[in-house]
């Protein structure tokens, strides 16, 4: 194996720096990992699955990343090969035993600076079906990268198990790292994107923090700071960062209605789902027309990047003002327009955009106008030789933001799961279920009648 000193060392790219920032300034280091699992509806051959994982490490270079401290910065290298890891194999007698085991690991920090960038467990559930649990550092993979990993791993397994040729190799994440570092050296492009964000934060006023928990936190801090015009509270608490996760299912008929509407109107599911959630948050926060949510952009727009694992995602701050006289259709157009402008600048480092926001709007580090981050994850896998897969996300135990919502289609029934990862210090399950219920009410009503106004929708859910 090559010596570490002989390997090319790269700086972190902006997507990785966003994740490292969470790690660096958090007391609890499990904030920067993504624990997930995929369960099949059959029993797989364990030895073949282990062979498939060995091949996957060789063809998925993000699994061979290693990180080093060099002074005050972090460097990374791609190892040409790594020693075989013994993958634990566990059999669970009950669902409770499975949940307890996986939850315990999900909340144990992945030590990426000590060579442990991920942990993997092969398990058999109480029904005798095989599953894979994968807890990975966010600095080497984002959610889409995890989806690429699972899909490729099972494709390799299928080839081995059925005597077929291996699928085409994945694209190299190292190429994306080089491209992103080159962008940072492109002064003309960087400065043009920077000017966009200067204008973005300068010309639209201060956003309003419309929390899913209502205005109580904001009202308390208006009193604390003796500032009746305060619009954004200190919602980022590095101490009280305990979180829980709630999975709520969207029935197939409702999910298909949303998906069909998206196809017919050329809308992204995240755009539509966020409008429903945004409307609920407005209804419990003085019916504000001004909200901001963070949308996670996968930055996989080319065929090459779609076949690449790794961490490429960037948070984008979607600040929209939607008056009550706007129709459901017009509100979607406003959100689409702002989202499209942000997506065109998705290569600009989030941490730089955040710093511009703080400087221009005079925010403290603990202040952020977004009450949620949202991701659309098309991670449901089609069947492979009759094998069906079920995806699950697990609770990492700690989280830096108030809430993270991600939506995943469920191919087994044509529905959709929404995972709500939320800070328990001021958000409750009741807050989440109200958000979920009202968002769906808004969407069903708006899809049936795109001419309904936002004001009418607010009247119906208030």
- Residue-wise pLDDT for 411-457, tens only, equals 889 999 999 999 999 999 999 999 999 999 999 999 999 999 999 99
pLDDT at 412: 85
Give dist(CA 196, CA 353) in Å, integer: 10
Instruction: Provide the whole-model pTM.
Output: 0.95
Residue 91 φ/ψ, nearest 5 degrees: -110, 130
pLDDT at 226: 97
Asked if residue 19 lies in contact with residue 139, where contact means CB atoms within 8 angstroms, the answer is yes
What average pLDDT score do residues 274-284 get? 98
Asked if residue 390 lies in contact with residue 38, where contact means CB atoms within 8 angstroms, the answer is yes
Is the per-residue pLDDT at 145 higher than 70?
yes
Confidence of residue 5 (pLDDT cuts 50, 70, 90): low
Confidence of residue 23 (pLDDT cuts 50, 70, 90): confident
pLDDT at 88: 97
Same domain, 163 and 210: no
pLDDT at 3: 58
How wide is the angle at C-alpha 167 spanned by C-alphas 164 and 172, nearest 5°? 155
Give dist(CA 123, CA 89) in Å, integer: 5
SS3 string of 23-38?
A: HHCCCCHHHHEEEEEE
Residue 180 is assigned to a structural domain of this protein: no
pLDDT at 2: 53
Number of separate domains in the chain: 2
Give me the domain span that covers residue 85.
4-175
Same domain, 362 and 445: yes
Residue 353 is assigned to a structural domain of this protein: yes
Is the per-residue pLDDT at 318 higher than 70?
yes
Residue 340 belongs to domain with CATH number: 3.30.559.30
Instruction: Break the chain down into helix, strand, coil percent, rounded to 5.
Output: 45, 20, 35
Give dist(CA 48, CA 32) in Å, integer: 31
pLDDT at 165: 97
Give dist(CA 105, CA 345) in Å, integer: 37
Same domain, 260 and 315: yes
Give dist(CA 274, CA 371) in Å, integer: 12
Give tens-digit pLDDT for 46-81.
999 999 999 999 999 999 999 999 888 899 999 999
Q: Which of 219-223, 236-240, 345-349 is least confident? A: 236-240
Neighbour-count burial for 297-316, b at 16+ CB within 10 Å, e otherwise:
bbbbeeeebebbbbbbbbbb
Residue 181 is assigned to a structural domain of this protein: no
Give tens-digit pLDDT for 86-95.
999 999 999 9
């Amino acid at each position: 194996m090559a010596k570490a000193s002989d390997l090319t060392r790269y700086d972190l790219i902006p997507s990785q720096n966003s994740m490292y920032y969470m790690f660096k300034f958090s007391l609890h280091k499990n904030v920067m990992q993504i624990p997930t699992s995929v369960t099949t509806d059959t029993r797989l051959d364990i030895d073949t699955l282990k062979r498939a994982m060995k091949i996957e490490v060789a063809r998925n270079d993000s699994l061979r990343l290693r990180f080093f401290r060099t002074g005050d910065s972090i460097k990374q290298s791609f190892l040409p090969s790594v020693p075989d890891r013994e993958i634990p194999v566990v059999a669970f007698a009950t669902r409770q035993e499975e949940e307890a085991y996986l939850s315990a690991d999900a909340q144990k920090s992945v030590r990426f600076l000590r060579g442990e960038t991920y942990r993997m467990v092969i398990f058999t559930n109480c029904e005798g079906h095989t599953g894979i649990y994968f807890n990975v550092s966010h600095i080497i993979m984002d959610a889409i990268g995890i989806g690429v990993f699972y899909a490729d791993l099972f494709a390799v397994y299928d080839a081995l198990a059925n005597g077929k040729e291996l699928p085409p190799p994945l694209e190299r994440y190292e190429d994306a790292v080089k491209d992103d570092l080159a962008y940072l050296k492109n002064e003309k492009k960087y400065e043009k994107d920077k000017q966009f964000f200067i204008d973005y934060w300068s010309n639209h006023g201060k956003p309003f923090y419309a929390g899913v928990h209502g205005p109580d936190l904001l009202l308390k801090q208006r009193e604390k700071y003796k500032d009746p015009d305060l619009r954004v509270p200190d919602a980022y608490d590095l101490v009280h960062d305990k979180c829980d996760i709630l999975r709520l299912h969207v029935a197939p008929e409702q999910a298909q209605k949303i998906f069909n509407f998206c196809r017919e109107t050329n809308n992204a599911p995240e755009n539509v789902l966020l409008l429903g959630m945004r409307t609920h948050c407005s209804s419990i926060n003085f019916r504000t027309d001004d909200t901001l949510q963070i949308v996670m952009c996968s930055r996989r727009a080319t065929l090459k990047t779609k076949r690449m694992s790794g961490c490429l995602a960037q948070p984008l701050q979607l600040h929209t003002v939607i008056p009550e006289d706007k129709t459901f259709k017009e509100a979607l157009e406003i959100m689409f327009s702002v989202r499209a402008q942000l997506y065109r600048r998705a290569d600009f480092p989030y941490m730089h955009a955040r710093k511009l926001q703080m400087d221009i709007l005079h925010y403290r580090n603990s202040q952020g106008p977004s009450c949620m981050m949202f991701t659309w994850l098309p991670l449901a896998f089609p069947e492979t030789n009759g094998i069906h897969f079920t995806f699950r996300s697990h609770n990492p135990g700690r989280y830096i933001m108030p809430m993270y919502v991600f939506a995943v289609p469920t191919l087994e029934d044509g529905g959709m799961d929404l995972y709500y990862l939320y800070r328990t210090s001021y958000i409750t399950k009741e807050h989440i279920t109200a958000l979920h219920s009202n968002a769906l009410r808004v969407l069903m009503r708006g899809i049936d009648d795109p001419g309904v106004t936002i004001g009418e929708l607010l009247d119906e859910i208030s």
